[in-house]
């Protein structure tokens, strides 16, 4: 994978311009999503991802804030894509069975 460095020490872009945390296979958006969804502080992110350094975490968050509009649009696009796929898949066999048994609504 060809990586391009950025002005943020621990952030690299792959050939598709997707930001990754340097030295890992973790996409920046994965860490940021946890931060946004659960309100994780940098210390909590470190607890959840002990293989990351605090410098990597702060660099990731700085990159996010410097590129917030673009990354928020990417998060929204991903959410909408997942929702579309969920709707296309319909109910699972398990959910249908539980409904027929009256165990869920």
**What pLDDT does 105 receive?**
86
Q: Per-domain residue ranges for the chain?
A: 7-72
**What pLDDT does 7 receive?**
85
Phi, psi (5° rounding) for residue 12? -125, 150
Q: Note whether 13 and 70 are within 8 A (CB).
A: no
Per-residue pLDDT tens over the stretch 24-72: 999 999 999 989 999 999 999 999 999 999 999 999 999 999 999 999 9
CATH no. of 7-72:
1.10.10
The whole-angstrom separation of Cα 28 and Cα 18 is 8
């Amino acid at each position: 994978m060809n990586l391009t460095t950025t002005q943020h020490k621990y952030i690299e872009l792959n050939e598709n311009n997707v930001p990754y945390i340097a030295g890992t296979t973790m996409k920046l958006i994965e860490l940021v999503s946890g931060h946004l969804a659960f309100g994780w502080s940098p210390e909590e992110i470190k607890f959840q991802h002990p293989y990351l350094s605090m410098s990597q975490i702060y660099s990731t968050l700085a990159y996010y804030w410097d590129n917030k509009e673009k990354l928020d649009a990417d998060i929204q696009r991903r959410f909408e894509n997942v929702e579309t796929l969920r709707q296309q898949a319909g109910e699972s066999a398990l959910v249908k069975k539980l409904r027929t048994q009256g165990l869920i609504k």
